[in-house]
Structure 1
Amino acid sequence: MSLTYWCEQAWLPDGVAEDVLVVVEGDRITRVGQGPPPPGAERLAGLTLPGLANAHSHAFHRALRGVAQEGKGDFWTWRERMYEVAARLDPDSYLRLATAVYAEMALAGVTCVGEFHYVHHGPDGTPYDDPNAMGHALVEAARAAGLRVALLDTCYLTGGIGAPLSGPQVRFGDGDAGRWAARADALAAAYEGQPDVEIGAAVHSVRAVPPEQMPLVTEFSRRHAAPLHAHVSEQRAEVAACVEMYAATPVGLLHEHGVLGPRSTAVHATHLNDVDVELLADSGTAVCMCPTTERDLADGIGPARELADRGTAITLGSDSHAVVDLFEEARAVELDERLASGRRGHWSAAGLLSAATCAGHISLGFPDAGLLVPGAWADLVSVRLDSVRTAGAAGLEAVVFAATAADVHSVVSGGRRVVTAGRHVLGDAGALLSEAIKALR
C-alpha cells in the first residue's frame, strides 16, 4: 500500500525545500516531489529530515544516568559503576531495558542504532543455553521500538593490556577470538536475509583484544561484508599503556593488524597524533564522535575537524546515554571545537547533520538510508519549528543549533509510524525506563 506524506519543509540532498511530497511503499521511499498536499496525504509540520543514525550505543549504560555524577573521579572510576550494572543483567532484564532505551532513541528521531554489544554470557562467564541470548534480546528490543539495528558483536578477551578478565568482566569474554568468531557466525546466520538487522563485529579496544587475536575479528567483517568498529584512544592512559607495551599507539596497532579500513569505524579517537590522523584518513576508516559522553567522562575533545579535513567520515553516537539527543551530539562537535580553538564556524549545519544521518547509516552497514530520495529506507523525522527553542530560527540551523530531541514530533521508521505527536507507539517511554532501571537496582 502506498502512503503519501506532505512536508511543510524537508531537507533534501540539494538543501531545504518547501511543500515536499514523499511517497512511501512498504519500507521504502518511491518518489519525492513538490506540490500542494493531495487528498489523503498525511501532513508533517515543521522540518522533516531523514532518520538519524546513533552509530555508537551501549544500551545498559542508560541505567547510570544521573546516579554516577557525585564525587571526584574519571573514566576509570565510572567504569567500576558500569561493571556493577553489567553484572545484574540477564536476557529478560536486558530486553526490557533496551526496549525502553531504544524507544527513547526513537523519540529523539533515531531510526537506526549501532549497538556495541559485549555482555554475552552469564555473570560467572558461563554461556546461556543459547550463547547469543543477550544479542537476540537486543535485536528484539530494537524491533519493538521501531529501529533497525547494527548489532556490533564485540570481541573482549582481556581485562587490560596483559591482564586476565576478572570480576564482572568474565561475562564479556569467549576465551579467544576463534571461539568469539564461532559464536558471532551463529548470530549472523540467525539474521541472514533480514534487512533490518546487520550483524557486525567490534574489537572492544587494544586493552581488551591482544593484537594477535585481532585478525580473526577483521576476517569475520570481511567474510560477512559487515561493519567493524573499535574503541580507539579514548583515554590518555590507554594510549600510554599501548605505547609502553607495543611501541605503537592504538591507531598504529590496529593498522598493523589489519583492523582499519573502509568498513571500519574508530570510536572516540580523542587522543591522536599526526600519524594517527593520517592512518585513519588513508585507510578510509570513519570516526564516531560521542561528545556528550566524552565530556561527561572527562575524556577530552577529539580532532574532528582535522580528521574531516583529511577526508575521514565523521559519525555520531550517544555511547553511555548521558544524553540521548543527536542534535546535541551534532552541535557539540562544533561547540567543543570552539572551546578548544577559541574560534567559531568550523562546521556547517548541513555538515553536522550529514554526520548524524547518511554518514552514520553507512558506517552501520545501511548505505541506503539517511537521505530523502527514491529507493532509500522510508525514514522521516519531523522537527517542530514553533517550540520555545526553535521559534524564530530558520533552516537547518534551527534544528542543529537550537532544537533538542523534545522537538521531534513525528517519526516514520522503515515505513512504520513509531512516534506521533511526540508519543511512542509503546506508550510512556519514561515509565518503561523507570521500571526497567528500578528492576536492575
Structure 2
Amino acid sequence: MSTQRFHAEYAWLPGDESPTPDVLIEIADGRFSGVTAGVQVPPGVRRLPGVTLPGLANAHSHAFHRALRGHTQTDGGTFWSWRDRMYEVAGRLDPDTYLALARATYAEMALAGITCVGEFHYLHHQPDGTPYADPNVMGAALVEAAAQAGVRLTLLDTLYLTSTVDGEPLHGVQRRFGDRDVDAWSDRHDKFPAAAHLRLGAALHSVRAVPLGALSTFAYRNGGVPLHFHLSEQRAENDACLATHGCTPVQLLADMGVLGPTATAVHATHLTEDGVALLGETGTGACLCPTTERDLADGIGPARALADADSPLSLGSDSHAVIDLFEEARAVEHDERLRTERRGHFTPAALTHAATVAGHAALGWSDAGTIAVGSRADLVTVRLDSVRTAAVPPAGVFFAATAADVTDVLVDGRAVVRDGRHVSIDVAAELHRSIGRVWR
C-alpha cells in the first residue's frame, strides 16, 4: 500500500469556522489515512503553501453550453431568446465533437478546483431524434471526457418528453432530447455501463418537459439515486403550471412524490414561501447557479430562506458563463445583500460547505468533500500570495480568490493539476480547438 504525505500551510477541516494551520495529510489507496494538525513540515514531505480545501463539487453542468461563452453578450432579449442560440449549438454536436468539448470543459473545471461534476445530460439522440446505434453513445462521450480530464462524474441522465407544460410535442432540435416515454428512457438508462469514476443518476428536465402522467412513475423508478430537476427558473414556467395544473411547479412535484432527501432542485429562483417550505420539509436540496442566473437575467434565488428552511444548498456553474465556484459561492452572499440591502447572510464556512460537502452529497458521493480519515483524497490548494489573495486571511478565500488562484488539485489521491497547470491537457488550446469545431 503506497502512502503519500502533504503538509498544508492551512487546511479547512470538518467543523472548522476557519482553516487550521500546519496540517499533515496522509493518503493511502485514494483515501485520507491520516490528518494531523499542528505539525511542522517533516523532512521530504511536499509543502502546500496557501489554503488547502476539500475537492469542490460542481452540482449542475451543461458541458456543451461552454461553446456559448462570449457569443451571446451582444444580444438582447430574455432566457427564451438565449435558448434559441443554445439550441443552435445543441444541433451541431455529434459523439466526437461532444467528447472533445466536454473533455476541455471538464479540464477547465479541474483547473478551478472542481473534482466532481454533475452533468445534466439530455443530448441523447441524433439531431432528428433518431437513436444512435448505441443509444447511450452521447452519454458515454461525457463519461470518457471526465475520465480523461481526471474528475469524477455524476451523469444525471435526463427525461425530456414534451416542449411545454401543456404537452406540446418536441420539435426541431428538441427531438434529440426526447425518448418515446418513461419506459424507453428507463430501457436506455438501465443499459448504461458502470465505471469507477461514475455515479449514474437521473433528472427530470422540468415540469415543461415531463407530463403529469410520467412524473410519479419516474420518481418511483429512481428512488434512492440522485434525482435533479430544473425548478421555477422562469416566472413563465410558474404561470404555465398554474394555468395547466392549478398549482406551482414545486407543489406538483411534491404531489407526484419527486421531492425528498436524494432530490435536488436546480435554480429554484421564483419560489413562493410555501415552495421554499416544501423543499425544506422534504429535505430536498437546492443547487444555485448565480453566475448563470444573472447572465440569463433569470433573477435572484431565495438562498437564505432555503437555508433557513433546511434545504441543503449546493452550487453549479450551469451554462459556464464562468467556471469558478469561488465566484458562485460569494455570489450567493452578494445576491442576498442586493436583495436585502444588508450584509452577512452566510459565513465563509457555510459557503465552503455548499461548495464541498453538500455538493458531493447532492451528486451521490457522500464519501467525498471533507479532509477526514476515510474520505476520498480530494485536495484543492489556493494560493495566498496572488494580487487577489495577498494579505487576505485564510478564511477569506471564498470572498477573494478566483479559479486562477488554484495551484494544485488531487482527485482520489491522483495529481490532476500541479503548479496551476493540468498534468495532461493543454486546456486553453483544447477549448479553442473544440469550440472552433462546433461553430464551424
TM-score grouping bracket, smaller chain normalisation = over 0.9
The answer to whether the 8 Å contact 1:157/1:176 transfers is yes
Out of 44, 64, 69, the position equivalent to 1:65 is 69
**Could you say which residue in structure 2 is the equivalent of 1:112?**
116
**Could you say which residue in structure 1 is the equivalent of 2:378?**
379
**Could you say which residue in structure 1 is the equivalent of 2:417?**
419
Give the superposition deviation at 1:14. 3.5
**Could you say which residue in structure 1 is the equivalent of 2:34?**
31
**Could you say which residue in structure 1 is the equivalent of 2:84?**
80
The answer to whether the 8 Å contact 2:149/2:425 transfers is no
CA–CA separation in structure 1 for the residues paired with 2:379 and 2:398: 16
1:212 maps to a residue whose letter is G
1:169 maps to a residue whose letter is Q
CA–CA separation in structure 2 for the residues paired with 1:254 and 1:430: 41
Give the superposition deviation at 1:221. 1.9
CA–CA separation in structure 2 for the residues paired with 1:388 and 1:276: 42
The answer to whether the 8 Å contact 2:56/2:356 transfers is yes
The answer to whether the 8 Å contact 1:201/1:217 transfers is no
**Could you say which residue in structure 2 is the equivalent of 1:164?**
169
**1:386-428 superposed Cα distances (whole Å, 9 cap, x missing partner):** 100000110221x111000000000011111000110002232
Please state if 1:343 is matched with 2:347: no
Give the superposition deviation at 1:278. 1.1
The answer to whether the 8 Å contact 1:177/1:214 transfers is no
Give the superposition deviation at 1:195. 4.0
Please state if 1:174 is matched with 2:172: no
The answer to whether the 8 Å contact 1:65/1:322 transfers is yes
Backbone CA RMSD of aligned residues: 0.9
The answer to whether the 8 Å contact 1:201/1:220 transfers is no
The answer to whether the 8 Å contact 1:27/1:377 transfers is yes
- Provide the secondary structure at the position in 1 that maps to 2:189: helix
Alignment of 1:228-377 (within 5 A): 228-377=227-376
TM-score (norm 1): 0.97
**1:318-360 superposed Cα distances (whole Å, 9 cap, x missing partner):** 0000010000000000000100111000110110111000000
- Provide the secondary structure at the position in 1 that maps to 2:48: strand
**Could you say which residue in structure 1 is the equivalent of 2:21?**
18
Give the superposition deviation at 1:216. 2.7
**1:141-197 superposed Cα distances (whole Å, 9 cap, x missing partner):** 11111111000000000111221000000000001111101111111xx11xx4421
CA–CA separation in structure 2 for the residues paired with 1:27 and 1:157: 40
CA–CA separation in structure 2 for the residues paired with 1:431 and 1:220: 42
**1:244-273 superposed Cα distances (whole Å, 9 cap, x missing partner):** 000011101111111100100000000011
The answer to whether the 8 Å contact 2:62/2:318 transfers is yes
Out of 431, 436, 439, the position equivalent to 1:438 is 436
Give the superposition deviation at 1:39. 2.8
CA–CA separation in structure 2 for the residues paired with 1:122 and 1:25: 44
CA–CA separation in structure 2 for the residues paired with 1:118 and 1:221: 17
Give the superposition deviation at 1:274. 1.3
1:9 maps to a residue whose letter is Y
CA–CA separation in structure 2 for the residues paired with 1:228 and 1:426: 32
Give the superposition deviation at 1:217. 2.1
CA–CA separation in structure 2 for the residues paired with 1:219 and 1:307: 25
Please state if 1:93 is matched with 2:92: no
**Could you say which residue in structure 1 is the equivalent of 2:191?**
186
CA–CA separation in structure 2 for the residues paired with 1:259 and 1:247: 18
**1:364-406 superposed Cα distances (whole Å, 9 cap, x missing partner):** 0001110000010100000000100000110221x11100000
1:100 maps to a residue whose letter is A
1:339 maps to a residue whose letter is L
**1:14-66 superposed Cα distances (whole Å, 9 cap, x missing partner):** 42111111111121111101312223312111000000000000000000000
The answer to whether the 8 Å contact 2:220/2:257 transfers is no
Please state if 1:5 is matched with 2:6: yes
CA–CA separation in structure 2 for the residues paired with 1:262 and 1:219: 14
1:433 maps to a residue whose letter is L
Seq. identity, %: 59
CA–CA separation in structure 2 for the residues paired with 1:132 and 1:119: 10
- Provide the secondary structure at the position in 2 that maps to 1:186: coil
TM-score (norm 2): 0.97
Please state if 1:131 is matched with 2:132: no
CA–CA separation in structure 2 for the residues paired with 1:427 and 1:317: 23
CA–CA separation in structure 1 for the residues paired with 2:303 and 2:244: 27
2:108 maps to a residue whose letter is E
Give the superposition deviation at 1:215. 2.1
- Provide the secondary structure at the position in 1 that maps to 2:222: helix
CA–CA separation in structure 1 for the residues paired with 2:44 and 2:50: 19
- Provide the secondary structure at the position in 2 that maps to 1:12: coil
Out of 121, 126, 129, the position equivalent to 1:122 is 126
- Provide the secondary structure at the position in 1 that maps to 2:12: strand
**Count of residues in Structure 1 that have an aligned counterpart in Structure 2:** 434
CA–CA separation in structure 1 for the residues paired with 2:6 and 2:150: 19
Structure 2, gaps ≥5 residues long = none
The answer to whether the 8 Å contact 1:27/1:415 transfers is yes
CA–CA separation in structure 1 for the residues paired with 2:399 and 2:178: 41
CA–CA separation in structure 2 for the residues paired with 1:67 and 1:426: 28
- Provide the secondary structure at the position in 1 that maps to 2:375: coil
The answer to whether the 8 Å contact 1:8/1:44 transfers is yes
1:341 maps to a residue whose letter is T
The answer to whether the 8 Å contact 1:57/1:320 transfers is yes
Structure 1, gaps ≥5 residues long = none
CA–CA separation in structure 2 for the residues paired with 1:177 and 1:211: 12
2:389 maps to a residue whose letter is T
- Provide the secondary structure at the position in 2 that maps to 1:138: helix
